[in-house]
Amino acid sequence: MAIFGPCFAAVFSVVSFLLVASAVPLDVSYDERGIKLNDQSRIIISGSIHYPRSTPEMWGDLIKKAKEGGLNAIETYVFWNAHEPLYRQYDFEGNKDLVRFIKTIQDAGLYAILRIGPYVCAEWNYGGFPVWLHNLPGVELRTNNTVYQNEMKTFVTLIVDMMQKHGLFAIQGGPIIVAQIENEYGNVEWAYGNNGKSYINWCAQLAESYGVQVPWIMCQQSDAPSPMINTCNGYYCDQFSPNNPKSPKWWTENWSGWFKDWGMKDPHRTAEDLAFAVARFFQYGGSLQNYYMYHGGTNFDRTAGGPYITTSYDYDAPLDEYGNLNQPKWGHLKRLHELIMSMEEILTHGVKRDVDYGNMMSGTVYVYKGKQSCFLGNANQNQDFTVNLMGSSYTVPAWSVSILPDCYTEVYNTAKINSQQTVMVKLPNEADDQTEPNELQWDWRPEHPESLHHGVAKGSVTTANELLDQKTVTNDTSDYLWYLTSLDLSKNDSLAGKAITLHVHTNGHIVHAFVNGKHVGSQWGTSDHLEFIMEKDIKLKHGKTNSISLLSVTVGLQNYGANFDTVNVGIHGPVKLIGNKGQSDEVTVDLSTNSWTYKVGLNGMEEKGLQLDNARHQHGWKSYNLPSNRLLVWYKTTFKAPLGSDPVVVDLQGLGKGTAWVNGHNIGRFWPSFVASEDGCTTTCDYRGAYNSNKCLTNCGDPSQRWYHIPRSFLQDDGNKLVLFEEFGGTPLHVRFQTITAGTICATTDEKKQLELSCQGGRVMSEIKFASFGEPTGVCGSYARGSCEAPNTLSVIQKQCLGQESCTLDVSENTFGPTGCHQNVYRLAVEATCDSP
């Protein structure tokens, strides 16, 4: 079925044609079974990699690892506020170079799925919307509103034109085969009434109007107007069917793990459960599946949104935050992908027949051109089942799917992992003599609280007789906004002689209060409770003007929910002084309608640029009397880049909360003093049963994020500068730089499989700590021998692997010799240590 009209030719400029003349155009269409590329039905296995969450220097490697992991497509959102942070001031440089990212996908020979949005959610600041959009007069976001729609159209058109100009759509020979407009609008459409409905129709028309000859999707949009394809997002999408019977069954977000809030533990979604969900989706006729995320990466700068989302966006994805293989997840899925792709023709063309065995056990047979392929799925959480298929019996473990590409041989079971598990380690920075953290040399300088007493330091200043929404005032150019006022007690006689409490009601996210320049208290909310009241006992001076300075700090703006864009942030009031609180003569003086002066940002940051590589002000730093537990302070140090190519992190243990820069690059907010609660972690993790974000947690009682990624491209060999702005008070004395690499590798693999063992970063296997082929038991770190084994296993593996960065073993009696066991299937368990050669 061809789905596109002829209008494309009109917008396809001569310039773009010349640019892509050598690329091979691909005709994209679809039917209810799936996408067709040049009329060939295809399975698409895709993974999300968001270009601004890594660096251009990392993109090639991430995409290569995605391809090696068996993906044939990469998906990304487009981040409007990254590209147009200020009205009509565009940025497509560095890690915002969308064209370069898409071309890197193309160079790797993969397809691209472009989710333009431009609302994206994504745990990204303000869901991707620029705050200037919210500040436009008469605007209402994500609904039938001309001011908004004109802006949305301008941005989407800019992106579509840019992709066309560079020949990046499939019909031009580019990699983009699918595009998305809006994002999960169906979840909130009810809140916008009839306007929501007409808005979504308008979105569909806008998408179609570009004539770019790719299918457009709308995820979680059960009323998607044809020809928009409604797609599924979630942990399991096997039971999903699109609203239009002519649409294929597509899964845009298979959540490979979950994101993290400050104060949260580390969530883990097991490889077995993820593979189970994928296998079931293909069993039940799905044909496009995307991991959200395949590489989560890092929320650099102030891009984390939510609020209270951590700087790390690791997501427990198949590639970890730094781009390392997250094993065994990466390897277990790779084997599944290769198998599914080998069945592409039968899955996209075959006649499908389902068999219900009862007890949540199901079978599916695909038949095409005299061949057949089978799936056996067991969705029961506790019980393994043995069933008969074409005359043979098969045992399918609980919560797993077996795939038999010829309906006789089980080639894959989602609960049986035959890939290496890698235990990552952090190594000291050997390039630097300062391997001990307290040997780093620190300079510091204070950030003085603003106060009306001394006249507000220059910068962006506004006044109003009311408490203003923080993002409206800052236009989101900074996390920091000073709310400043003053009062003369003689004009408020009612307070005379009373104990005074300062009462501040805020919508979040952090408040530091100063009275006459003295800190009187700090408080913050959590992702569940953004709004809070801070009350502090204070002392005021009689007969003099008292200054009240409130520093309100945002930790990323709201990104999700109906009308999320209208949620106020900052001190919305009331701000009151309460005399003799709780007593019979209690009095209140409301300061909310006082004259308030607003100062955007910090003096050290906005005016002095202390964080910049070539800071305008070098003087004023002290190298003596290094303070700890001091509020509002700048620290800086220099360090050498760790040798080698392994990813670099800085351990910020000991610090409170703030922002960190390396050589002028903002590596994100830090908050190691926000510790996850002690309860709810498990040492073992049962993959069986539906995933939820309380399952398989680790990191209880530890900082929710202690290590912060410094991409290699931010570093030079020597003389690197780390600048920290510390907001709460802490000590930099425990700060140190480390690299992350494979420390221990483990695997248990069934016989007749190939096993690849691999260290990384030039490190090699220095010791085989355990090896047994037969009936070994236990888990990584505590494997035990069974009653029988092939006696040569250790020496064979030592011979093949010691001193190597990687080695591949043929797991069989041919390799290791006879086991003397009487099992049906033997297993190999091996544990090795990776070290510098």
Which residues have a catalytic role annotated?
184, 253
Least gap, CB of 149 to ligand GAL (angstroms): 21
**Residue 222 amino acid letter:** S
Query: Among residues 48 and 414, whose Cβ is nearest to ligand GAL?
Result: 48
In 3D space, the residue among 244, 236, 113, 241 whose CA is nearest the CA of residue 178 turns out to be: 113
Where are the strands (E) in 97-212, listed by range? Answer: 111-117, 176-181
Query: Among residues 123 and 344, whose Cβ is nearest to ligand GAL?
Result: 123
The alpha carbon dihedral of 325, 331, 336, 338 has a sign of: positive
Least gap, CB of 269 to ligand GAL (angstroms): 12
Least gap, CB of 183 to ligand GAL (angstroms): 5
Give the relative orientation of helices 56-68 and 98-107 as an angle to the nearest 10 degrees. 30
With residue 596 as reference, give the H or E element that holds it: strand 596-600
Query: Among residues 178 and 757, whose Cβ is nearest to ligand GAL?
Result: 178
Query: Tokens 């002392």 correspond to what residue?
Result: 539
Residue nearest to ligand GAL (CB): 121
Rounded CA separation 41/349 (Å): 8
Query: Among residues 77 and 635, whose Cβ is nearest to ligand GAL?
Result: 77
34: CB partners within 8 A, 6+ apart: 41, 42, 43, 44, 248, 250, 287, 288, 348
Query: Among residues 316 and 469, whose Cβ is nearest to ligand GAL?
Result: 316
Least gap, CB of 316 to ligand GAL (angstroms): 11
385's tokens: 């089942």
Q: What are phi and psi of 98, to 5 degrees?
A: -60, -40
Least gap, CB of 688 to ligand GAL (angstroms): 23
Rounded CA separation 393/60 (Å): 45
Rounded CA separation 228/107 (Å): 29
Rounded CA separation 831/779 (Å): 10
Query: Among residues 255 and 442, whose Cβ is nearest to ligand GAL?
Result: 255
DSSP annotation of 22: T
Helix (H, G, I), strand (E, B) or coil at 286: coil
In 3D space, the residue among 141, 140, 210 whose CA is nearest the CA of residue 182 turns out to be: 141
Least gap, CB of 233 to ligand GAL (angstroms): 5
Rounded CA separation 702/684 (Å): 18
Rounded CA separation 621/626 (Å): 11
Instruction: Give yes or no for a contact between 657 and 605, defined as CB atoms under 8 angstroms apart.
Output: no
Least gap, CB of 612 to ligand GAL (angstroms): 32
**Residue 634 amino acid letter:** W
Q: Is the peptide bond before 118 cis (omega within 30 degrees of 0)?
A: yes
Burial of 585 from C-beta contacts in 10 A (0-12 / 13-18 / 19+): exposed
Query: Among residues 294 and 482, whose Cβ is nearest to ligand GAL?
Result: 294
Query: Among residues 123 and 208, whose Cβ is nearest to ligand GAL?
Result: 123
Instruction: Give yes or no for a contact between 418 and 753, defined as CB atoms under 8 angstroms apart.
Output: yes
**Residue 93 amino acid letter:** E
Largest CA distance in the chain: 97
Query: Among residues 21 and 690, whose Cβ is nearest to ligand GAL?
Result: 690
DSSP annotation of 677: P
Give the relative orientation of helices 329-342 and 271-283 as an angle to the nearest 10 degrees. 20
Where are the strands (E) in 162-260, listed by range? Answer: 176-181, 216-219, 229-234, 250-255
Question: What torsion do the CA atoms of 281, 287, 288, 294 make, to the nearest 10 degrees?
Answer: 50
Least gap, CB of 673 to ligand GAL (angstroms): 25
Query: Tokens 């940051």 correspond to what residue?
Result: 605
Query: Tokens 């920290």 correspond to what residue?
Result: 724
The alpha carbon dihedral of 238, 243, 246, 251 has a sign of: negative
Binding residues for ligand GAL (CB under 6 A): 120-123, 183-184, 233, 253, 259
Question: Could you tell me how far CA 623 lies from the centroid of its own chain?
Answer: 38
Least gap, CB of 128 to ligand GAL (angstroms): 9
In 3D space, the residue among 685, 634, 682 whose CA is nearest the CA of residue 658 turns out to be: 634
Least gap, CB of 247 to ligand GAL (angstroms): 19
Q: Is the peptide bond before 765 cis (omega within 30 degrees of 0)?
A: no
Instruction: Give yes or no for a contact between 296 and 314, defined as CB atoms under 8 angstroms apart.
Output: yes
Q: Distance from first CA to last CA of the chain, Å, rounded?
A: 58
Least gap, CB of 211 to ligand GAL (angstroms): 26
Query: Among residues 184 and 447, whose Cβ is nearest to ligand GAL?
Result: 184
Query: Among residues 101 and 639, whose Cβ is nearest to ligand GAL?
Result: 101
Least gap, CB of 48 to ligand GAL (angstroms): 9
Helix (H, G, I), strand (E, B) or coil at 769: strand
Query: Among residues 233 and 558, whose Cβ is nearest to ligand GAL?
Result: 233
